[in-house]
Structure 1
Amino acid sequence: MSYNDLWIRDLGARYGVALLAILAIVFWMASRWPKMRESWYRDYLIGFEVECSDLAAFHKRRLFEPLHCLISADETLRDVGRIRILEIGVKTGENIAFYPDDCHLVGVDLNKRLADHLFHDENAWRFRHIFVEQTIVGDGSRLGQTIPSGSVDAVVTTRTLCSVESPAAVLREIRRVLVQGGTYFFMEHTPDPRQGTLIRWLQMFWSRSGIWPSLYGGCRPDFDPIPSIEMAGFEQVTWRRAALHGDTSRPHHLALTRHHIIGTAIR
């Protein structure tokens, strides 16, 4: 047996078991990754996103206040003093607390269990003041088969446009389904408005590396929704900036998604 053969045999004897163990771990991780990612994202939604909504309560109350004064374009709803709201990206339903009593909600979310969450989960009592008209699984970019044009009085998105595959397509659908004169209410996080900061660099790195989107439902911290909203063809767009501050269980998440635009767009 040659020296080279002995060297290879010794190398295999020393590291073969370790290599097999590493390969087994890699294959196990690959097979479990979808479930792990789903669990990770669920914990994020019921943890940080709920905390973030609490920090934004003042801004949301102010943003959604006009919903209580809207008069529906739907004659049937108007006669009973109700309106129809479409929310894209319902998540855990934290916005619903700010909606008018007895309003009709059409909810859109990628969560296949959205209907169960709104009707049957232990916290479903929080949504009893509204009527859930329909739930749709998707990101809001293809609603033509389920929501007629000009049938919705108001549309809501909060921290949603960063996660959809095509913000332009979602905004086209928002404009299409709104009644003439209807209002799109939005609160979307933006990149750090200051150029050249460490936060701005981290937002770009985590987004473009694909790591952050893969863990958090497609969210891209470096996505700026302002140009997309302003070019979507609405008659009037008004917005202001706001930054969230406070204690959360994931301060790094807040640091990367602290800055928001809050506003409305009229069809």
Structure 2
Amino acid sequence: MTEASILFFRACLALLAMPVYLLSLLGMWEPFCKKVFFPFFLENFSTIYERKTKKQKQELFRNLPDFASPSGELKLLEIGTGCGTNFQFYPPGCKVTCTDINPNFQQGLERSMNKNQHIHYERFLVTAGEDLHQVPSGSVDAVICTLVLCSVHNVNNTLKEALRVLRPGGAFYFLEHVAADHSSWTYFWQQVCYPTWKLVFDGCCLTREIWKNLEQASFSELNLQHISVALPWMPIQPHIMGYAVK
């Protein structure tokens, strides 16, 4: 697993993905990716991913009602809502504000909303996780973030914004793929795939050690576990999940 072998396999992968690199060079890939390819890919990938992570998500979100305000109301804000695959796990009657930097998930999002009438949808904001200025400070009980921190421009700034909009005692929920153990073959292939993967999948980074960002953030309590999601032939099996309290 030398640097030379990583560079060799990277070159081979880049050669296979040459059409994407050429489109990127011409400035055509990013708009096509955001409007067509990535929404299509995410909706179809989500079907597989949800089967693999259903039990983990049920475990992750089962204590969401514990973070309701004293009045009993539960306000959620989801960063990177995408196609709304988390809606099924939210408790009945909660109020959800959806955010995403990409506004092109509308069809999948509407389908998820129609399937999940047990929750109230307050609004949809087209904004990045690092900039939630439209959301007042201390106004939500929980922030949800799944498969998002891999692609934000700045993980620490996203966590700062999550802390800002949370009320004292509120919780930040996360389920993210992360870097594998550095001595493993999975990490080797993460390094090989990194440049092409990031280009093809709209900025998704394979080697982020997001647990370190969470440990360094100003949460009063962090409940985090490392898990593996069975996704054969994909370099995103290592995950972290849990919640952190403001």
The TM-score by the shorter chain falls in which range? 0.7 to 0.9
1:91 to 82, 93, 98: 82
Instruction: Work out whether residues 238 and 264 of structure 1, in 8 Å CA contact, stay in contact via their aligned partners in 2.
Output: yes
Q: Which runs of 5+ in 1 are unaligned?
A: 1-25
2:211 to 213, 218, 226: 226
In 2 relative to 1, CA 220–27 (structure 1 residues): closer, same or farther, beyond 3 Å? closer
- Identify the residue that residue 46 of structure 2 maps to in structure 1: 49
Equivalent pairs, count: 224
2:233 to 234, 249, 252: 252
Q: Which runs of 5+ in 2 are unaligned?
A: 1-21
Determine the C-alpha separation between the residues in 2 that align with 1:36 and 1:191.
28
TM-score normalised per structure 2: 0.83
Determine the C-alpha separation between the residues in 1 that align with 2:26 and 2:104.
25
Percent of aligned positions that are identical = 28
In 2 relative to 1, CA 230–37 (structure 1 residues): closer, same or farther, beyond 3 Å? same
**1:31-180 aligned within 5 A:** 32-38=28-34, 39-72=36-69, 78=71, 81-114=72-105, 117-118=108-109, 121-144=110-133, 146-180=134-168
In 2 relative to 1, CA 95–27 (structure 1 residues): closer, same or farther, beyond 3 Å? closer
2:171 to 179, 183, 187: 183
- Identify the residue that residue 9 of structure 1 maps to in structure 2: none
TM-score normalised per structure 1: 0.77
SS in 1 for 2:86: helix
Determine the C-alpha separation between the residues in 2 that align with 1:57 and 1:180.
29
Deviation at 1:167, TM superposition (A): 0.5
Instruction: Work out whether residues 106 and 135 of structure 1, in 8 Å CA contact, stay in contact via their aligned partners in 2.
Output: yes
Deviation at 1:197, TM superposition (A): 2.5
Determine the C-alpha separation between the residues in 1 that align with 2:108 and 2:141.
24
- Name the amino acid aligned to 2:193: W
Determine the C-alpha separation between the residues in 2 that align with 1:114 and 1:72.
31
